[in-house]
Structure 1
Amino acid sequence: MTYNQTTISEIQFYPVKPKDGLLGFVSFVLDDKFWMGSVAVFSRPDGRYRLVYPTRKVGGQNINIFHPITQEAGQEVETAVSEKVAELLSENYESDEPTQTAW
């Protein structure tokens, strides 16, 4: 089976007051077919970002809503989102403008 490269577009970052490494949430469009939202963005000690995909608690058990099923797809999403978040955070720190709720 041949896989095409994943397309990640329309990345939006929704910052929150940082707590326990949580910086905010992102949404994005995957392969021009699926809107993915409520993906948490955490900072890592090495300066990179970690994505945590949404779950729902059902009967005391966490059920995954969605997540990448291949390491390659997960890496593509993480790279695209990390680049966008880093870009937006650096723009915000360089600007005197107040933080926006979504970019």
Structure 2
Amino acid sequence: MKDILSEVQITPIKARDGLVGFASFVYNDSFYFGSIGIYTRPQGGYRLTYPTRKGPSGNFNIFHPINRNIAEKIEKVIISKFENVTKMYARHSSFNTK
């Protein structure tokens, strides 16, 4: 089965502790993933974080990629879209994520 990521949505925010936005997408027209954090990397670029919840024995992941191939594909699609969206903001307003 081919991995299809669609309906990628980006919400840029004012940078805070490295967090610069949130992302969501639909996987294979059947599952919605949201609340994915977009953070700046200290050495440049971006990284993604996936939602967690606090439980009695600590934090646990709500969802996350389980293999490197799909993790890299998700990262590539989301970061590309994030960069396009933030370029649009930079051209059309005073909003700045950095």
Q: Distance in 2 between matches of 1:22 and 1:52?
A: 10
> RMSD of aligned C-alpha atoms?
1.4
Hey, what's the Cα distance between the residues in 2 that align with 1:65 and 1:25?
16
Return the offset for 1:47. 3.0
Q: Any gaps of 5 or more consecutive residues in structure 2?
A: none
Alignment of 1:31-50 (within 5 A): 31-50=28-47
What secondary structure, in the 3-state scheme, does the structure 2 residue paired with 1:39 have? strand
For the pair 1:18 / 2:15, whether they are aligned, the reply is yes
- In the comparison of the two structures, how many residue pairs are matched? 95
Identity, in percent, stands at: 39
Counterpart in the other structure of 1:87: 84
- Normalised by the length of structure 1, the TM-score is 0.84
Please tell me whether residue 28 in structure 1 is matched to residue 25 in structure 2. Answer: yes
Structure 1 runs (4+) deviating above 2 angstroms are none
Q: Which runs of 5+ in 1 are unaligned?
A: none
